[in-house]
Amino acid sequence: MASSSTVFASAALVLLLLLGGTSAQLSTSFYSSSCPKLFSTVKPVVQSAISKEKRLGASVLRLFFHDCFVLGCDGSVLLDDTPTFTGEKTAKPNNNSIRGFEVIDQIKTAVEKACPGVVSCADILAVAARDSVVILGGPNWDVKLGRRDSRRASISKANKQIPPPTSSLSNLISKFSAKGLSTKDMVALSGSHTIGLARCTSFRGHIYNDTNIDASFAKKRQANCPSASGSGDNNLAPLDLQTPTAFDNNYYKNLVRFKGLLHSDQQLYNVSDSTDSLVKAYISSTGTFFSDFVSGMIKMGDIKPLTGSNGEIRKNCRKIN
Ligand code: HEM
Ligand SMILES: *[C@@H]1O[C@H](CO)[C@@H](O)[C@H](O)[C@H]1NC(C)=O
Ligand SMILES: *[C@@H]1O[C@H](CO)[C@@H](O)[C@H](O)[C@H]1NC(C)=O
Ligand SMILES: CC(=O)N[C@H]1CO[C@H](CO)[C@@H](O)[C@@H]1O
């Protein structure tokens, strides 16, 4: 006969599993029987988008970050505004900035054809972000799946929880920590800025007013980014001046030369020994960067997913069913 302490322990375990039920439910084999062709359907669409425009890989990767940091990885960033629904697309970090939605739409169309009503937009974004990294020369990993799509969005959380490019190192650490991500995750995930572009308005303060910047680099960027706010705000510059379409460790090499584009980028070097040592480790070893980047992506992908019967599988990634 079971002792009362065994009964109690089993009841406690059941309760723990029920309460903890929102995390740890994603799995790399989630669609293996319901949509076995998922990966082979997504990748060629990402590949063809990147072949047409290299930047789209960067844009899709960033969409996944901005999705996960707001209400969890639930496709909330993909929702369009309507007269009666306020999405996240006009939040300060997103407005005139996030892009790549057409790629997600194209993938969704292809996936709906292969497996109608099965795969969430949140999962499509997770797979497309991984494929983008791989196609541009970065690491590969198995993506955990099983997220469902939200029926809501939060512009106020998008404004508060996505760190701005003016962030200090301590701000960056605390914004990531609030999502369960460590300083190491933050430094490794910032390595995403090895690809993609930023607008003048995002780096103007750094190139005109900061002193921790290489003078000739500042001058070069000032040439296409006027100091007056409002003029040339949308002029673009590469986040990694060396290889802006290759996923490599040049981002970190730029930082030790004081050639980080954003104020927040340059905060990772020569502010604290704790991040300096990570930057140096990633310069010494692309393998270390890639493996910390992959763990960071998996942890970020685990942020508050909707699972089970929560949320829905959207038919169109831009609107709730
Ligand atoms: C550490 C805190 C971070 C800050 C402050 C930050 C800020 C920014 C800013 C300001 C831009 C340029 C936006 C514009 O001017 O339009 C940008 C671009 C980008 N960010 Fe971040 N970011 C951070 C972390 C991340 C993470 C974690 C990822 C992905 C895992 C990421 C991926 C990207 C990519 C790929 C681009 C280029 C997008 C494109 O060209 O369309 N960033 N980021
Ligand atoms: C977003 O950008 C548009 C176009 O530049 C601008 O008119 C609008 O005021 C911005 N919205 C917000 C909420 O900042
Ligand atoms: C630089 O700093 C000064 C003084 O704080 C400020 O008035 C100016 O707007 C800043 N310029 C840029 C381009 O951020
Ligand atoms: C490598 C490097 O440039 N280190 C500098 C970082 O900042 C300190 C001041 O805090 C300088 O003295 C170092 O030379």
- Looking up tokens 């009841």, which residue turns up? 11
Mean pLDDT of 120-133: 99
* Tokens of residue 19, six digits: 């309460």
Question: How many CB atoms lie under 10 A from the CB of residue 313?
Answer: 17
What atom in ligand 1 is closest to the CA of residue 297? 30
**Band of residue 8 on the pLDDT scale cut at 50, 70, 90:** very low
pLDDT, tens digit, for every residue of 85-111?
999 999 999 999 999 999 999 999 999
Mean pLDDT of 231-255: 98
The predicted structure's pLDDT at residue 171 = 98
* Residues of the binding site for substrate: 163
The predicted structure's pLDDT at residue 20 = 40
Task: Give nearest CA residue, ligand 2 atom 1.
Answer: 95
The predicted structure's pLDDT at residue 242 = 98
54 lines ligand 1 (CB under 6 A): no
> Which of 166, 201, 203, 209, when mutated, tests ligand 3's pocket best, judged by the most ligand atoms within 8 Å of its CB?
209
What atom in ligand 2 is closest to the CA of residue 96? 2
pLDDT, tens digit, for every residue of 31-65?
999 999 999 999 999 999 999 999 999 999 999 99
Task: Give nearest CA residue, ligand 1 atom 17.
Answer: 198
118 lines ligand 1 (CB under 6 A): no
* Level-2 CATH architecture, domain 169-299: Orthogonal Bundle (1.10)
Which residues, 6+ apart, have CB-to-CB distance to 233 below 8 Å?
199, 200, 201
Buried b (16+ CB within 10 A) or exposed e, 165-183: bebebeebbebbeebebeb
pLDDT, tens digit, for every residue of 251-266?
999 999 999 999 999 9
The predicted structure's pLDDT at residue 3 = 44
CA distance 276 to 256: 9
CA distance 264 to 93: 14
The predicted structure's pLDDT at residue 5 = 45
What atom in ligand 2 is closest to the CA of residue 95? 1
pLDDT, tens digit, for every residue of 174-183?
999 999 999 9
Task: Give nearest CA residue, ligand 1 atom 14.
Answer: 198
280 lines ligand 1 (CB under 6 A): no
Mean pLDDT of 219-240: 98
pLDDT, tens digit, for every residue of 286-319?
999 999 999 999 999 999 999 999 999 999 999 9
Question: How many CB atoms lie under 10 A from the CB of residue 7?
Answer: 11
CA distance 266 to 168: 9
DSSP 78: G
Buried b (16+ CB within 10 A) or exposed e, 253-279: bbbeebbbbbbbbbbbbeeeeebbebb
The predicted structure's pLDDT at residue 270 = 98
Written as one string, the DSSP assignment of 206-249 is: HHHH-SSS-HHHHHHHHTTS-SSTTSSTT-EEESSSS-TTS-SS
Residue 62 Cα to ligand 1 midpoint, Å, equals: 6
Select the more confidently predicted residue: 12 or 138. 138
Residues with CB under 6 A from ligand 3: 204-205, 208-209, 227
Please report which ligand is nearest the Cα atom of 98. Answer: 1
Beta bridge partners of 27: 145
Residue 281 Cα to ligand 4 midpoint, Å, equals: 18
- Given this chain, do its domains 24-162 and 169-299 carry the same CATH topology? no
Closest CA to 123 of 5, 225, 13, 31: 31
CA distance 5 to 46: 54
Please report which ligand is nearest the Cα atom of 207. Answer: 3
> Which of 81, 96, 99, when mutated, tests ligand 2's pocket best, judged by the most ligand atoms within 8 Å of its CB?
96
**Band of residue 22 on the pLDDT scale cut at 50, 70, 90:** very low
Residues carrying an active site annotation: 66
CA distance 147 to 319: 17
The predicted structure's pLDDT at residue 54 = 98
Q: What is the mean pLDDT of the chain?
A: 94
* Residues of the binding site: 67, 70, 72, 74, 76, 88, 163, 193-194, 240, 243, 248
| Residue ranges of domains in the chain | 24-162, 169-299
CA distance 195 to 197: 7
Residues with CB under 6 A from ligand 2: 90, 95-96
CA distance 25 to 185: 21
pLDDT > 90 in the chain, percent: 92
Select the more confidently predicted residue: 16 or 54. 54
CA terminus-to-terminus distance, the chain = 51
Residue 83 CA, distance from chain mean position:
28
3-state secondary structure of 133: helix
* Level-2 CATH architecture, domain 24-162: Orthogonal Bundle (1.10)
Residue 45 CA, distance from chain mean position:
19
**Band of residue 2 on the pLDDT scale cut at 50, 70, 90:** very low
**Band of residue 6 on the pLDDT scale cut at 50, 70, 90:** very low
204 lines ligand 1 (CB under 6 A): no
